[in-house]
Amino acid sequence: MKAEFDVPIYKTINECAEITKLAKYHIRQLVLQNKIKYLRAGAKYLINFDSLMEYLNAGENLSTENAWKMVRKIFIKGGKNERNS
């Protein structure tokens, strides 16, 4: 009895950039921010191509509720919202 399983396809940043027409810098940032799956082989990053395509198709999918949690109030010196200290 043979077990069947999918072997993930890994590509370099340069290969992914060429296929997707995205900048190498952008793909590298996705890797460094852990937004896509990857392996590190020495100095090279090998990207799980299915993970990259899934990310590009779905995006981050931030809900409005979670997006507002990332916003913080800032105070401008001399503005009407300046803190009284």
Classify residue 26: in a domain, yes or no: yes
pLDDT for the residue 59: 76
CB 53 within 8 A of CB 22: no
Classify residue 53: in a domain, yes or no: yes
pLDDT for the residue 62: 46
| Structural domain boundaries, residue 20 | 10-69
CB 38 within 8 A of CB 45: yes
Question: What does the DSSP 8-state code read for residue 1?
Answer: -
Q: How many domains does the chain divide into?
A: 1
Q: Which of 73, 35, 32, 71 is nearest to 52 (CA)?
A: 35
* Share above pLDDT 90 across residues of the chain, in percent, rounded to a whole number: 56
Residues 9-25: tens digit of each pLDDT: 999 999 999 999 999 99
Mean residue pLDDT of the chain comes to 82
Residues 42-61: tens digit of each pLDDT: 999 999 999 999 999 987 76
